[in-house]
Structure 1
């Protein structure tokens, strides 16, 4: 399976704390990759390293075969990358309509996917509940139609039915050529169609494989020992 993005011997540090310990990760093209792990496992740091939010203390971040370590967040965005953070992913002083309008021509598709937003278009995004803000942030990223979409726990605050709708859209987008990487604490059954699952534990990769291999008793012994 062709690889669209990758981390090679990647290290991320926050002061004296090292969050990623020289990890090697592949993110296949036109597919959904899920990063699993508990809080503090290094999932967010992985997304931030790909997006350029945090600099690498060692190793390389690759995208489309190029080392993008020297590119800023804005340069990566202009090349087709979008990151949806776990929190504060909206422009709070702007209305929902204005937030969605910043992304481009895909607003109608977003409202079809998330009709819950239709009655909220004139409200300021900062006044919405956490789940509603998450819909706006994810919707804006989808409307931008990025080539590489990174989502940090996109289901946070969403009703199960809405999360399932989002997962179906992400799998469909991947089938159409988009590369998607998202984080979760456990694998939802609605993402059983993901191509690859990576499990992180304390800044290291302890499992990489297909979703079906995550059935009870199928994890690597290294992960079980942790």
Structure 2
């Protein structure tokens, strides 16, 4: 079943058109990957899904309902959480306070306590640093914190924008392993990622975005084997 859909969406920044009528579908329970070069429109797509950008045309559908006009914070309440490019943590707040910022959409206290338990199970390192300021964490730990904060809202779909950017190789492997664990817990994932090899290797389905247009789609395995994708994104001629 389609959980989240973009239908023929265009987005402009002033006179510059960033997305040209793109369509994509994220089915319940999937990991879907969106790959593309810098400037292709990947972050614009994620921000449009999260309600942080106005659409020039087209629609965003969630659970069969048009949410194109729904404000970003109301999309969080509905079950859409974004981990933004660059992490966006609050450096002066403690790890626990950062995580609490992800709970404002929840109506009852009990699920918040359960959310802390789940996040600390996924990220034991965050539990160890619960009272530490977010700004003192390593880059990999900050990315864990950003993902953990998004999970605190108990999302139905998690939007991850470049989670491996700037991380050391050991943290990249760990982050992708955690993405798979999150998905196994029943959370649908839409992943924007430049590390195409790792992302496609874990994706049920994938899309290639080039200069604001979807140019290829298929299973993760199909795109991993596609000669044009190999040459452009996997460094294989």
TMscore range, shorter length: 0.7 to 0.9
Instruction: Give me the whole-angstrom Cα distance separating, in 1, the residues matched to 2:224 and 2:203.
Output: 14
* Per-residue deviation, residues 28-83 of structure 1 (Å, max 9, x unmatched): 11110111011111111111111101010111111111110110001111111100
CA RMSD in angstroms comes to 2.3
**What does 1:9-158 correspond to in 2, within 5 Å?**
9-102=8-101, 103=103, 104-105=112-113, 106-158=115-167
Equivalent pair of 1:31/1:175 in contact (CA under 8 Å): no
SS of 2:92's partner is: coil
Instruction: Give me the whole-angstrom Cα distance separating, in 2, the residues matched to 1:52 and 1:43.
Output: 15
SS of 1:48's partner is: helix
Equivalent pair of 1:164/1:190 in contact (CA under 8 Å): no
Instruction: Give me the whole-angstrom Cα distance separating, in 1, the residues matched to 2:139 and 2:185.
Output: 30
The structure with the largest helix share of the pair is 2
SS of 1:70's partner is: coil
In the alignment, structure 1 segments of 5+ residues that lack a partner are none
SS of 2:37's partner is: coil
**Partner in structure 2 of residue 179 of structure 1:** 188
TM-score, normalised with respect to structure 2:
0.84
* Per-residue deviation, residues 78-123 of structure 1 (Å, max 9, x unmatched): 1111001012521233111211233333223323332333443222
Q: Tell me whether 131-140 or 63-72 shows the greater mean CA deviation.
A: 131-140
Instruction: Give me the whole-angstrom Cα distance separating, in 1, the residues matched to 2:150 and 2:47.
Output: 16
Residues 21 and 162 from structure 1, CA distance in 2 versus in 1: closer, same or farther, beyond 3 angstroms?
A: same
